[in-house]
Structure 1
């Protein structure tokens, strides 16, 4: 794969990764209704967990791609790494 295409792919994976991670976390907030069966609750939990895991995998893949393409596309590589690391650090620091 060309390194310039890898840099563009890293930026795309960041958008997809943060969106899926957000959906995975936010879909777990709140209590289910009293008429919702246990099977539906479990299916929703698994779907949310899958979205979260795929989102985190996209973010980690974009970090790897930004390191791979650093020699050719430095600005996009640094922007990709910052778009993953800065919000991640903000989330971690807000939990302390």
Structure 2
């Protein structure tokens, strides 16, 4: 009787065969629900760029998205609203 355990592949051999590298960037598959506002949706889609970067590259993407979202919010304040009602000078009876 042979008490030795059968040889199994180690993680390095398995990674070499499958092409899977656990240290490589991997998509998070976080759902991004469209908002209906093109400027905001473009920034949300930009977050997908972080899926293909190492962790130290995420900061640049997040800061870029934050800047874009802040600009989109600022633009909301700058958009002209409906015209203010005009006041007609009232004449006082004499």
TM-score by length of 2: 0.40
More helix per residue:
1
Point out the structure with max Rg over C-alpha. 2
TM-score by length of 1: 0.40
Higher relative contact order (CA 8 A, sep 6+): 1
